Amino acid sequence: MPEHGRPCSSEHAGNGPTLAEVDILYRTQSRRVLATLIRLLGDFELAEEALHDAFIAAVQQWPRDGLPSNPRAWLVSTGRFKAIDGLRRRARFDASLSLLADQLDGRDEPEWEREDLEDDRLRLIFTCCHPTLPADAQVALTLREVCDLKTEEIARAFLASPSTIAQRIVRAKQKIREAGIPYRVPTRDELPARLDNVLRVIYLVFNEGYSASSGRELTRADLSAEAIRLGHLLLELLPDPELMGLLALMLLHDSRRAARTDEAGELVRLDEQDRSRWSQAQIAEGAALVERALASRRFGPYTVQAAIVAVHAKASSAAQTDWAQIVALYDLLLRISPSPVIELNRAVALAMRDGAEVGLAAIDRLLARGELRDYHLLHSARADFCRRLGRLDEAREAYRAALGLAQLEPEKRFLQQRLDELDAGQREA
């Protein structure tokens, strides 16, 4: 193995990392290692097998020999070596594999410490989002390969079966291999046309981290941080106004992360959050990006959404929120990118500006159309408006509907608490 693959010093021998520490390294570094292995080996399946073999070797060797001075380089080098060795063993049955092994072995070792805009994970995300792949496959492949989401997690986000998602991922990998899709960041001339898919995928990754699709935890900070990191890298590569808007949107949302749950991990509504816990650094960076994007006059829906979140961020309290400006921004957003979810969010803003009755009427129109009948947040909002209007039986019915549709455990507990409060109030009356 190369020099950087050796333990950092003999004094660490026998006092290496624990299995738990190796697991942490897997969660923080495995996607980087995989991205580099895909570049070096030229094949998703071969790289995934190499990643697996490298971490098995790490579990066996590091606790005994000590942590390498550069763990990521050790893992890449070990994975590459094991992939080549495996190809040579299998070459007894397929002579073409021997040639491939020789080709891979003949390539120069990469410069491990090189960190620039040609980041391997950017290569990976542009490959996963290549326009020759079906749109749903682009997202599924990126969430699996770039973000390490399990097939079951992706399936829940897509409201699809795990087998369907697995088939999409397998077919996407086959298409990349058979069509010879290049593993690179597009040129500056190509980037604008390729950017929309990438922005959509990055935001889906962020959303899975900011508000997990299901499970016990409300958020997955690692996914949101990865999406923000990718946004920063892309913005260095291409100062596009809508990319600025997307990065601003993610930063402004993420600035509230610490205040979104209490010490017990329970959900805290926006109007009840401790705003002193919001990250002022993220708010400042996000607000500046929004201003730059809006000033360009070439912005899109991400920028308008970011402007809405910026209005919330600027308010010193929930009572000081400029709801008239938020409604106007939602009107603009609906013209740019019409969506029933945006209509729902506008209805909530209308209720805050004009009263619960106005908001309820807007929600009932949405409900009558049927597009969001299975969306728990619509029923939750309707329950809240009915509660505020004293229509308690309707509120209970709507809370129960929301509870039956919610997938995230903290949201279920929040809705159950609201329902319990209504029942307690009825008993006291």
Cβ 183 vs Cβ 127: under 8 Å: yes
Whole-angstrom distance, CA of residue 288 vs CA of residue 248: 8
Q: How confident is the model at residue 78 (pLDDT cuts 50, 70, 90)?
A: very high
Measured CA to CA, the distance from residue 306 to residue 228 in angstroms comes to 14
Mean pLDDT over 111-139 rounds to: 76
What 3-state DSSP class applies to 98? helix
Residues shown for the chain:
429
Burial class from Cβ neighbours inside 10 Å (0-12, 13-18, 19+) for residue 280 reads exposed
pLDDT of residue 332: 97
Q: Determine contact, residues 213/407, Cβ cutoff 8 Å.
A: yes
Q: Which residue(s) pair with 170 in the sheet?
A: none
> What is the structure's pLDDT at 379?
97
Q: What is residue 423's predicted lDDT score, i.e. its pLDDT? A: 80
Q: What is the pLDDT of residue 301?
A: 96
Q: How far apart are the first and last CA of the chain?
A: 76
How far is it, in rounded angstroms, from Cα 8 to Cα 15?
A: 12
Report pTM. Answer: 0.73
Lookup: tokens for 205: 């990754």
CA distance 287 to 276: 17
Cβ-contact 169, 128 below 8 angstroms = no
Percent of the chain whose predicted confidence (pLDDT) is above 70: 86
Q: Which two tokens stand for residue 117?
A: 């805009």
Poorest-pLDDT segment among 63-77, 210-224, 292-306: 210-224
Give the residue-averaged pLDDT of 103-124.
58
255-284 pLDDT tens trace: 999 998 888 777 888 989 999 999 999 999
Tokens encoding 113 = 């410490």
Residue 184 has what pLDDT?
86
Distance, in Å, from the CA atom of 120 to the CA atom of 235, rounded to the nearest integer, reads 16
The Cα–Cα gap between 270 and 315 comes to 12
* Residue 236: how many other CB atoms lie within 10 Å: 11
Give the model's confidence band at 89: pLDDT under 50 very low, under 70 low, under 90 confident, else very high: confident
pLDDT of residue 337: 93
How far apart are alpha carbons 78 and 68 in whole angstroms? Answer: 12
The C-alpha atoms of residue 316 and residue 43 are separated, in whole angstroms, by 52
**163-169: which pairs have CB atoms within 8 A and are 24 or more residues apart?**
165/140, 168/134, 168/136, 168/137, 168/140, 168/141, 169/137, 169/140, 169/141, 169/144
186 or 401, higher pLDDT:
401
Q: Which two tokens stand for residue 242?
A: 């809508």
Lowest mean pLDDT among 13-27, 139-153, 170-184: 13-27
pLDDT digit string, tens, across residues 350-372:
999 999 999 999 999 999 999 89
Give Rg (Cα) of the chain.
25
**If you average pLDDT over residues 106-127, what whole number do you get?**
63
Q: What pLDDT is attached to residue 12?
A: 41
pLDDT of residue 49: 93
Q: What is the pLDDT of residue 114?
A: 47
Segment (H or E) for 25: helix 19-41
Amino acid at 176: I
pLDDT at position 246 over 90: yes
In DSSP notation, 158-184 reads HTS-HHHHHHHHHHHHHHHHHHT---S
pLDDT at 343: 97
Angle, helix 376-388 to helix 392-405, in steps of 10 degrees: 160
> How high is the mean pLDDT of the chain?
85
